[in-house]
Structure 1
């Protein structure tokens, strides 16, 4: 079966954020236009962040797809690793604070930052339930 691979920013069993690849089956449609199942969404928001923007460390409040429409976005993790996403790329942000945990920036979540010479433009699509 054909599939589409998405990058997922997630919270592991140890409460730490990480990245992983997940496969989404493309079991619907036709050979010319293979589709995944239809996933429900809870709305969307556009955001523009100026050159120099960097957020404080945080967890994703509600799982959502993040589509980079313009510019570049860097996502940094407490372990010092980071990934840069460019216009045309996306990821599924699901690094929520574990139940019962108190936020600790040395352990939980991520930060995001604009990179390059252009403002960062993003589209957030909220998920009503966890993707794939």
Structure 2
């Protein structure tokens, strides 16, 4: 069945506030699999963060597709909404501000923390 692949996305609304939304990637049947069209990427990095690692509120900078390989990562927004991403799950971090808005860590961005009792390992793919 030709259903889109849905990936959680952190983006910004018209006021520059980080929000969760969804990316729907259409797929095409190729042989016995369903593939999206090619998605351009700049590079990728492997990441490890220790148990207890956390950040302050920040923006993504470059859009990044993140795949969790080990551990759990909690992403929290300014309004308290959060999603916990576990092994095998992925998301894109794309929240950024237009040049006309100055970043304020009390209003903008998201924060991340490694939760649970094992370190985080992930793949970061810059888009």
Give unmatched runs, 5+ long, in structure 2: none
State the TM-score, normalized to the length of structure 1. Answer: 0.90
Count of matched residue pairs: 126
CA distance in 1, matches of 2:99, 2:70: 34
Partner of residue 7, structure 1: 8
State the TM-score, normalized to the length of structure 2. Answer: 0.94
Give unmatched runs, 5+ long, in structure 1: 128-132
CA distance in 1, matches of 2:78, 2:3: 35
Partner of residue 20, structure 1: 21
Deviation at 1:28, TM superposition (A): 4.8
Q: Which segment drifts farther, 90-99 or 61-70? A: 90-99
Contact 1:16–1:107 (Cα < 8 Å) also in 2: yes
Give 1:92-103 correspondences, 5 Å limit: 92-103=92-103
Partner of residue 121, structure 1: 121
Partner of residue 44, structure 1: 44
Q: What secondary structure does 1:41 align onto?
A: coil
User: How much is the aligned-residue C-alpha RMSD, in angstroms?
Assistant: 1.1
Give 1:83-94 correspondences, 5 Å limit: 83-94=83-94
CA distance in 1, matches of 2:67, 2:61: 17
Displaced runs of 4 or more, over 4 A: none
